[in-house]
Amino acid sequence: MDWQELGMTAARGVLVYVLMLIVIRVLGKRTIGNFSAFDLLVALMLGEVVDEIIYGDVSLAQGLTAIVVIALCKYLTAWLTCVNPSLNRILEGKPTEVVSHGEFVREGLRSEMMSELEVLAALRLNDVADMREVKSAIMEVDGQLSVIREDWAEPLTKADLHGDDVQIPPDAKRTDTPEALGETR
């Protein structure tokens, strides 16, 4: 490789970086947040096109056309799933319950191809140490596990201790901090 070819690769990299930044901002937060299967597919396709452009395997015009077409397809699909919820279920999938009232839902585990150990690990990440605390655990379409606790397992609040009618003045000082308790760090 000569310096001119390296310079062209660097210039293509900068140009594609700026274009991809614009495309990601236009496509919205979900593109950079937790990926659904469809979002991951779009990200992989864009990554492959970017690779081809940067290394000069396709012309810049071809690569930019591919990026714009993929972005338009993603935008059109997002719009269609917004106006037609049944199409959303086809493209994005639907949430699956894997725990109900402290018991594994075998059908849900099978459909998500999850083991009990994977569910237990995800519950721990949601600060659940005992499955009996779980009213429902649902595998969302983005791969996150949502956990709804049984009413008795919800953390206590000040309202629980003092009743719902307790009014805490806005200028009240906290007394549960290490500083208020006279502890040093």
DSSP letter string over 91-126? HH---EEEEETTEE-HHHHHHHT--HHHHHHHHHHT
Burial of residue 67 (number of CB atoms within 10 Å: 0-12, 13-18, 19+) = buried
DSSP 175: S
Beta-bridge partner residues of 148: 136
Rounded Cα gap, residues 93 and 111, in angstroms: 12
CA separation for the pair 35, 103 (Å, rounded): 28
d(CA 51, CA 133): 47
Q: Report the predicted TM-score, pTM, of the whole model to 2 decimal places.
A: 0.58
What is the residue-level pLDDT of the chain in tens, covering all 185 positions?
A: 678 877 777 777 668 767 776 776 666 544 444 666 667 777 878 888 888 888 888 888 888 888 888 888 888 888 888 898 888 777 777 889 999 999 999 999 998 889 999 999 999 999 998 999 999 999 987 778 999 999 887 777 777 777 666 566 666 665 555 555 555 54
